[in-house]
Amino acid sequence: MSEPVLIDPSYIDEILIPADRLQARIAELGAQISHDYAGQDLLLLSVLKGSILFLADLMRHITVPHAIDFMATSSYGPELQSSGVVRILKDLDRPIANLNVLIVEDIIDTGHTLHYLVRILQERRPKTLRICTLLNKPSRREIDVAVDYIGFDIPNKFVLGYGLDYMELYRNLPYIAVLARHLYT
């Protein structure tokens, strides 16, 4: 059976991270997290919507019993640039005081979203607060964020797939692809 066609091939310049490399790295991250939190409580805080595929695959590799919760922040909207302004669209269901909280993110770009999230979550007095991101664009950072687990450092290119969208579409691709140049402009 052939692979289903999920996107017009002219919309992507290249596949940056194929599915097998994603899955192999996520298994490593899960093993590392399981080791680091052994014997402790753990709450995975997924930032909607981009991190849902990553969360679903990562948690299957975490052997420590853990809860999950979700938060949604304002995204870029129609533009591909970060405004630096972050709003909470959906808050957590439960308090996080005295819990080990691990933020699960799809990508850190300028750092504004996570910088803001960390600041407001720290006020809720978790026992620990760490960050796990699948993708990291270090060259784009405008504000410093301490990231504890990184799946892949990637170049300054707009990527989509595996949870990440282009205009809210293509989150279902099983790989990370680079958006075609002609769609930027």
Identify the burial level of 7 via C-beta atoms within 10 angstroms of its C-beta, where 0-12 means exposed, 13-18 middle and 19 or more buried: middle
Give dist(CA 41, CA 135) in Å, integer. 25
Active site residue 109: yes
Q: Between 31 and 89, name the residue whose CB sits nearer to Mg ion.
A: 89
Please, what is the Cα angle at 157 between 156 and 162, to 5 degrees? 120
Q: Rule CB under 5 A: say whether 151 interacts with Mg ion.
A: no
Peptide bond into 49 cis (omega under 30): yes
Q: Does 50 bind Mg ion (CB under 5 A)?
A: yes
Binding partner of residue 100 among ligand IMP, Mg ion, none, CB under 5 to 8 Å per kind?
A: none
CB of residue 116 vs Mg ion: minimum separation in angstroms? Answer: 13
Residue in 181, 169, 152 with CA at minimum distance from that of residue 16: 152
Cα–Cα distance measured from residue 67 to residue 112, given in angstroms and rounded to the nearest whole number: 26
- Is position 163 an interface residue for Mg ion (rule: CB under 5 A)? no
Closest to Mg ion by CB, 37 vs 112, is: 112
CA dist., res. 92 & res. 85, Å (int): 20
Least gap, CB of 44 to Mg ion (angstroms): 15
**What residue 121 binds from Mg ion, ligand IMP, none (CB within 5 to 8 A, per partner kind)?**
none
Q: Which is nearer to Mg ion, 37 or 57 (CB)?
A: 57
Give the nearest distance from C-beta 41 to ligand IMP in angstroms. Answer: 26
Q: What is the contact surface with ligand IMP in residues (CB under 6 A)?
A: 50, 75-76, 82, 105-113, 158-160, 164
Do 145 and 114 touch, CB atoms closer than 8 A? yes
Q: Which of 13, 69, 106, 109 is catalytic?
A: 109
Distance between CA 28 and CA 34 in Å, rounded?
A: 10
Residue closer to ligand IMP by CB (options 29, 104) is 104
Closest approach of ligand IMP to the CB of residue 50, in Å? 5
- Judged by the rule CB under 5 A, the positions of this chain that interact with Mg ion are 50
Q: Which residues are catalytic?
A: 109
